[in-house]
Structure 1
């Protein structure tokens, strides 16, 4: 399997994106019955191949002191993958739109930029650790903020819904946004928190690989953060594909559950070595038992 994946090249996912772009651009010229399915298929294939390519590039081999995923080539490919993932989201959310005509050309342009800067010198492991630590901290902060904001929007939604049923909305000094606006805010917070926390966990893995050459998968903080992300992904997919969840109180309840998972994750992080900022010499023995080891000297 690894040998098969090692054969993936930039050409593979570029071709997938190009086919999807051509199909998007020819929407107004002629009609193909299965066009949307084909576009979706090539987009997913391109994303999977590009992700596999990036993961293989992030595998430590101990032959260099350069940082993992710490070149302008890697950053350009990561940015292009993120933009392609956004296109997939819009494709699933609004399949009738033609946003691919606007999103896919920048994706291909970023890949071309990556090829252009491929020979740029990489950051050292120390520099890479600092970069990914900053990305990790900012992404987790923004993701947690989005979960909290979604929770508060859900509370306001339920309060405003109750006031409307009792015909008290707009009376007195308490004036809340309308239900439609609160529902949209809830939904946006759910989407944003999922993306931000995914970026936070991904950057955290790369930070630890650059720092120690391993990831403490068994730490409470890591486990509960992973559970929080899995819940957010499931809630987001549920909201996208199950249309009744977009109306009424269902989105508010989803953000309530997300807030509960966030509190549990924070409690786990703050009571683990990860949250207490232990020295960076090496991960605990429990962590190294199932970690990705960096071969070679440290």
Structure 2
């Protein structure tokens, strides 16, 4: 990583969010200031970028000065988790602001973001969880998020299928039969919500999977087919969500239905990759694509011996 990025601290993104809050407060003046909206977007972009870089550095950082350095989990402190909540709020605010720049949601989101950063700083003294505890925590987050995302994709697929059937029945003037389906508007809104929920959940699942592998293996097996296909699923869901909110043709509901139907195909592809590789099974500390099993065993033995000696001491 570039040396200049390693100088990023909490002050960088905190200052950016404070500037955005100050810009939003200028709305109370009652005058339209030229460039206010653009300045807010630029500062929010800088804040989110530096926030992500800071957390990425913390995820890959190992503190050699502490006695239990190798056993400390990555992103396994209350400070880390508070900062991640703050980042999630910042991204949500940024997306909502892009959609409706005329709203004043910044008065609510920005103080909450700054409060989470303040909380993160106030709990710095609390000890970090060890690597095993961190791995189990992130594994649980990964499993729950991917489960929710998969369920949302499947739910959206069913809503999309019903939309197509109901649309056909309306054209054939058969909608008034005994077999009733929800209205097209209801199914369209359900499709959109499923698309958003699945995108967010799968995104959280991917991030938590990355942190889990950093804690478990010390690296990320990007070449694993399950991980690659899960990444493809997320890219598709994010693209489909962007298309849904940025492009509005005349047949909006049919477009959403097509997107959710295609998302189901990507889900099947991703699940086939997960279930046909070791990614879907119980992993061990030594599993890593292309790794030398004997070398991994030696490293694990050395870590265990060091831990035992510290315990005796």
Cα distance in 1, alignment partners of residues 251 and 102 from structure 2:
18
1:271 alignment partner in structure 2: 276
1:173 partner SS:
coil
Cα distance in 2, alignment partners of residues 19 and 230 from structure 1:
32
Greater relative contact order (Cα < 8 A, sep 6+): 1
Count of paired positions: 291
1:15 alignment partner in structure 2: 15
Q: Once superposed, what is the RMSD of the aligned Cα atoms?
A: 2.0
- Tell me how far 1:286 sits from its aligned partner: 6.2
- Tell me how far 1:25 sits from its aligned partner: 2.5
- Tell me how far 1:245 sits from its aligned partner: 7.8
2:223/2:289 contact within 8 Å kept: no
Please tell me whether residue 92 in structure 1 is matched to residue 98 in structure 2: yes
Gaps spanning 5+ residues in structure 2: where?
A: 294-298, 304-313
Instruction: Give the TM-score of the pair, scaled to structure 2.
Output: 0.88
Please tell me whether residue 52 in structure 1 is matched to residue 89 in structure 2: no
Please tell me whether residue 229 in structure 1 is matched to residue 230 in structure 2: no
1:216/1:287 contact within 8 Å kept: no
Listed one character per residue, the Cα deviations across residues 93-144 of structure 1 (whole Å, up to 9, x for unaligned) are: 2222111111111000000000000121000001000100100000000111
Instruction: Give the TM-score of the pair, scaled to structure 1.
Output: 0.92
Shift >4 Å, 4+ stretches:
none
2:185/2:253 contact within 8 Å kept: no
Cα distance in 2, alignment partners of residues 119 and 246 from structure 1:
55
Task: After TM superposition, list the pairs within 5 Å mapping 1:229-268 onto structure 2.
Answer: 229-244=234-249, 247-268=252-273
1:218 partner SS:
coil
1:243 partner SS:
coil
2:36 alignment partner in structure 1: 35
Gaps spanning 5+ residues in structure 1: where?
A: 289-293
1:291 alignment partner in structure 2: none
Instruction: Describe the shift of the 1:277–1:199 C-alpha distance in structure 2 as closer, same or farther (beyond 3 A).
Output: same
Instruction: Describe the shift of the 1:286–1:194 C-alpha distance in structure 2 as closer, same or farther (beyond 3 A).
Output: farther
Please tell me whether residue 193 in structure 1 is matched to residue 194 in structure 2: no
1:184 to 183, 186, 189: 189
Greater Cα shift, 29-38 or 67-76: 29-38
Cα distance in 1, alignment partners of residues 153 and 291 from structure 2:
31
Cα distance in 2, alignment partners of residues 85 and 59 from structure 1:
22
Instruction: Describe the shift of the 1:66–1:246 C-alpha distance in structure 2 as closer, same or farther (beyond 3 A).
Output: farther
Cα distance in 1, alignment partners of residues 268 and 226 from structure 2:
11
- Tell me how far 1:246 sits from its aligned partner: 7.6
Instruction: Describe the shift of the 1:213–1:174 C-alpha distance in structure 2 as closer, same or farther (beyond 3 A).
Output: same
1:69/1:206 contact within 8 Å kept: yes
Greater Cα shift, 117-126 or 36-45: 36-45
2:60 partner SS:
coil
